[in-house]
């Protein structure tokens, strides 16, 4: 009888022997910035699409810290920058030298350091061109200014829309013109810098690129001045590419404007 109980106990222990740790699983990587063909100094956002599948979720923007990611790039390149929450599954990677690279990650438990998963690689091609945060206005460019009455934060205002006649890389609102505005005295003064700025640098937004070199478009922007009084000419001074032009703009009626302006100058007023 004792032998029977002993055999049953041994059989029970054998059936409930602890299982060996499971081998690492395979995760997939996604590229949130869409582009797989980028420029030097352009960032690409790579994430664990297996665990962070919903890019609108809280976990995507603030990934759980229970996993640690070790990223690797082949071929090896000493000129790579990692940022963002790359240790937890979402890496912003900037390449500073051209080439075609394979991106992988190894995923560990943050407490036990046990290897949980590896990833299928994603490829990124880096062109020899360099993405710049700012570039100069082209010689001979002209600025077009279109006034219009609008509501700005609940206050009536005169909006001035600006457009260049020459084209630049990428599109508004990723690219912006910059200017200083002074409405404290007569005439109102607008002074433009001599550059176009990529506000999303080091990223390029999805809608602002073609697969390789990016679109070109007229640079544009908008500024707001106090609401022009009806039928009273407002003096305006605009400096563009080092040239200052002056004239008047008058609001006629509620929504229309007329201008006394030399439209043969580098600054032109479009009225409506």
The reported pLDDT for the residue numbered 212 is 41
DSSP letters spanning the chain: -HHHHHHHHHHHHHHTPPPPPPPPEEE-EEETT--SEEEET-EEEEEETTTS--TTSHHHHS--TTEEEEEEEES--S-EEEESSGGGTEEEEEESS-EEEEEEEEEEETTT--EEEEE--EEEEEEEEE--SEEEPPTT--EEEEEEEEEETTEEEEEEEEEEEEEEES-TTTEEEEEEEE-SSSSEEEEEEEEEEETTTT---GGG--SSS--EEEEEEEEEEEPPPBT--EEEEEEETTEEEEEEEEEETTTEEEEE--TTSSEEE---
pTM of the model: 0.77
Bond prior to 120 in cis (omega within 30° of 0): no
The reported pLDDT for the residue numbered 14 is 44
The reported pLDDT for the residue numbered 243 is 97
The reported pLDDT for the residue numbered 206 is 54
The reported pLDDT for the residue numbered 13 is 43
The reported pLDDT for the residue numbered 99 is 93
Spans of all domains in the chain:
22-130, 134-269
Q: Thinking of the domain 22-130, which architecture would CATH place it in?
A: Sandwich (2.60)
The reported pLDDT for the residue numbered 214 is 57
N residues, the chain: 272
Residues 6 or more apart in contact with residue 141 via CB below 8 angstroms: 164, 165, 166, 241, 266
The reported pLDDT for the residue numbered 55 is 78
Q: Tens-digit pLDDT profile for the chain (272 aa)? A: 554 444 444 444 444 445 545 567 999 999 988 778 899 999 999 999 999 988 788 888 899 999 999 999 998 877 789 998 999 999 999 999 999 999 999 999 999 999 999 999 999 999 999 999 999 999 999 999 999 999 999 999 999 999 999 999 888 888 999 999 999 999 999 999 999 999 999 998 654 444 444 578 899 999 999 999 999 999 999 999 999 999 999 999 888 999 999 999 999 999 86
132-to-31, 40, 200 alpha-carbon distances in Å: 21, 9, 11
The reported pLDDT for the residue numbered 221 is 93
């Amino acid at each position: 009888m004792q032998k029977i109980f002993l055999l049953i106990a041994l059989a029970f222990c054998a059936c409930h022997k602890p299982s060996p740790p499971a081998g690492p699983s395979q995760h997939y990587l996604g590229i949130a910035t869409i582009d797989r063909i980028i420029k030097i100094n352009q960032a690409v956002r790579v994430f664990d699409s297996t665990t962070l599948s919903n890019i609108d979720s809280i976990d995507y923007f603030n990934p759980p810290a229970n996993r640690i990611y070790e990223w690797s790039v082949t071929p090896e390149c000493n000129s790579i920058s990692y940022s963002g929450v790359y240790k937890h599954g979402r890496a912003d990677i900037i390449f500073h030298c051209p080439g075609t690279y394979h991106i992988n990650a190894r995923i560990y438990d943050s407490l036990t350091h046990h290897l949980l998963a590896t990833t299928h690689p994603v490829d990124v091609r880096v062109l020899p061109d360099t993405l710049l945060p700012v570039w100069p206005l082209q010689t001979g460019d002209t600025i077009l200014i279109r006034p219009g009455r609008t509501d700005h934060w609940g206050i009536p205002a005169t909006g001035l829309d600006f457009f260049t006649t020459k084209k630049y890389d990428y599109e508004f609102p990723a690219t912006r013109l910059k200017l200083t505005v002074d409405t404290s005295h007569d005439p109102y003064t607008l002074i433009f810098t001599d550059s176009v700025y990529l506000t999303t640098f080091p990223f390029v937004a999805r809608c602002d690129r073609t697969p390789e070199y990016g679109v070109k478009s007229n640079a544009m922007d908008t500024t707001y001045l106090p609401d022009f009084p009806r039928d009273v000419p407002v003096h305006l001074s605009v400096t563009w590419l080092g040239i200052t032009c002056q004239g008047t703009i008058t609001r006629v009626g509620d929504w229309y404007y007329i201008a006394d302006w030399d439209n043969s100058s580098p600054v032109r007023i479009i009225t409506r």
